[in-house]
Amino acid sequence: MRTQVAIVGGGLAGLYAARLLHAAKVEWMLIEARDRLGGRILTVDEAGQPADDGFDLGPSWYWPRMQPVLAGLVAELGLSSFEQHSDGDVVFERMSRETPQRFRPVVQDQQSFRVAGGTGALVHAVARGLPRERLVLSAQVTAMALRGEHVELVIRHADGADETLVVGHVIAAIPPRLLEATVSFTPEQEASVARRWRDTPTWMAPHAKFFAVYDRPFWRDAGLSGTAQSMVGPMAEMHDATTASGGPGLFGFLRVDAEQRAALGEEALTRACLDQLARVFGPDARTPRAILFKDWAADPRTATAADRSAGGHPAPDPAPWVTGPWKEHLALAGSETSPTEPGYLAGAVGEAGRAVAELIKKLGAGGSRVGRSSD
Ligand SMILES: Cc1cc2nc3c(=O)[nH]c(=O)nc-3n(C[C@H](O)[C@H](O)[C@H](O)COP(=O)(O)OP(=O)(O)OC[C@H]3O[C@@H](n4cnc5c(N)ncnc54)[C@H](O)[C@@H]3O)c2cc1C
């Protein structure tokens, strides 16, 4: 197989890069290891199946006033958004021997917004405008080799068969740490570059989210917003997860770390989370209609072993992410490499935009023409 540009990764960054290349009439192919698009964006119904209107097991929020590029994309795609529900009291659970306390929250300066339908709606809307045959799913890039003006990518399909894709340029829209851990390079990346990729935490990779779906938002009836913080656990913070179409739910980020989660198991964690929801929001919380749980640290398409112990926010750093012989042929473009919003959805969109603009400039200046449709 040959094409002009390979995009590695079908999360928001990879898909947005594909959208921009498609609009610029540059030939591309997107290679995605999972059997679905979206990467860390995963919106599901209460049965846990990917859905057009559901619960965000990955990202839920964006901040339109601070993130105009993402807000612009949401508008351009014709999607609507709504404010994170925060009317009502907040609950604080300080110690296990104390009853959780409720208090009036201070009004937030930068209100969080959610995309109607869930952030999965963003993925669907971007993917809708792209030719299906150029989106290759269940295909993992395992190696890249620089051969003169070309890059050869080895792609492993779900059945174990390997295929080679020859391109002029690669946009790697995957977290740098995952790139370093799962793709081999010939020639190897310079030691300082490989170290930096390895040391860059993948945002939220160590985390897990727990959802409880209910018949009605009973906490709102009691004057509670659904927001709670806890020093007790197993969840550290909880929020109203009710969907735009009114599917009531609560969710929480686990404070129990990845190793402890693996040791405890999902059943014990579920029981502990329901106990906590009942302590914080009242006895109705103990009997949800459905529960959902996603442990991102246990997902090898997002997290490496390093993410189970070393998380944190990637630090913005303007130094180049690729140096040496690879510089002309490889660009990194996932949310982690953003100099302004590393780790966020807005960072993924911004980085894809930057990588594509730089690539189009290179191609215009007479860069590689491998696989152009006119060849
Ligand atoms: C629980 C959680 C909550 C979050 N909350 C928020 C939030 O509220 N707001 C916010 O702005 N951000 C949030 N984030 C972060 C946000 O999800 C990410 O910034 C964004 O989705 C990253 O997009 P991306 O395309 O850069 O990377 P990813 O979504 O990670 O996409 C990378 C893709 O590459 C694929 N891949 C990996 N290796 C290979 C390979 N070798 N070959 C082919 N494909 C490969 C993966 O399967 C994946 O689809 C959250 C993340 C999580 C996990």
Q: Is 343 in the pocket of ligand 1 (CB under 6 A)?
A: yes
Q: Which atom, in ligand 1's list, is nearest to the CA of 253?
A: 1
Contacts of 34 (CB under 8 A, 6+ apart): 10, 137, 138, 301
**10 Å Cβ neighbour count for 316?**
13
Q: Which atom, in ligand 1's list, is nearest to the CA of 40?
A: 29
Nearest CA to ligand 1 atom 36: 9
Residue 316: the pLDDT is 73
Lowest mean pLDDT among 18-22, 48-52, 218-222: 48-52
Q: Which atom, in ligand 1's list, is nearest to the CA of 174?
A: 32
Residue 310: the pLDDT is 61
Closest CA to 326 of 151, 181, 191: 151
* Best of 174, 184, 211, 340 for a ligand 1 pocket test (most atoms within 8 Å of beta carbon): 174
Nearest CA to ligand 1 atom 33: 9
Which strands, in side-by-side order, build the sheet including 290-295?
A: 101-103, 89-93, 224-230, 235-240, 249-254, 208-213, 290-295
Q: Is 135 in the pocket of ligand 1 (CB under 6 A)?
A: no
Q: Is 335 in the pocket of ligand 1 (CB under 6 A)?
A: yes
Rounded to 10°, the helix 68-76/120-128 angle is 60
Nearest CA to ligand 1 atom 13: 59
Nearest CA to ligand 1 atom 21: 40
At residue 54, what is the residue type?
G
CA 41–ligand 1 middle distance (angstroms): 6
pLDDT, tens only, 165-211: 999 999 999 999 999 999 999 999 999 999 999 999 999 999 999 99
Tell me the mean pLDDT in the region 17-21.
Answer: 98
Nearest CA to ligand 1 atom 14: 59
Q: Is 355 in the pocket of ligand 1 (CB under 6 A)?
A: no
Is residue 154 pLDDT above 50, yes or no? yes
Q: Which two tokens stand for residue 368?
A: 């590689």
Of residues 109 and 305, which shows the higher confidence score?
305
Contacts of 44 (CB under 8 A, 6+ apart): 50, 51, 54, 55, 57, 120, 292
Q: Which of 157-171, 302-316, 355-369 has the highest mean pLDDT?
A: 157-171
Residue 308: the pLDDT is 83
Contacts of 125 (CB under 8 A, 6+ apart): 77, 78, 79
* Percent of the chain with pLDDT strictly greater than 70: 96
**Whether 112 contacts 83, CB under 8 Å:** yes
Q: Is 58 in the pocket of ligand 1 (CB under 6 A)?
A: yes
Distance CA 44, CA 127 (A): 17
Closest CA to 81 of 121, 50, 128, 124: 121
Distance CA 55, CA 375 (A): 45
Contacts of 42 (CB under 8 A, 6+ apart): 36, 50, 56, 57, 58, 120, 294
What is the band of 369 on the pLDDT scale with cuts at 50, 70, 90? very low
Q: Is 344 in the pocket of ligand 1 (CB under 6 A)?
A: yes
**Whether 332 contacts 183, CB under 8 Å:** no
CA 134–ligand 1 middle distance (angstroms): 20
**Whether 296 contacts 302, CB under 8 Å:** yes
Domains of the chain: 5-41+123-203+310-364 (3.50.50.60), 48-118+206-298 (3.90.660.10)
Is residue 132 pLDDT above 90, yes or no? yes
The reported pTM is 0.95
Contacts of 263 (CB under 8 A, 6+ apart): none
CA 350–ligand 1 middle distance (angstroms): 14
Nearest CA to ligand 1 atom 35: 9
Q: Is 296 in the pocket of ligand 1 (CB under 6 A)?
A: yes
**10 Å Cβ neighbour count for 300?**
12
Q: Strand 55-56 relative to strand 43-44: parallel, antiparallel, unpaired? A: antiparallel
Strand, helix or coil at 280?
helix
Q: Which atom, in ligand 1's list, is nearest to the CA of 182?
A: 41
CA 60–ligand 1 middle distance (angstroms): 12
Distance CA 223, CA 135 (A): 47
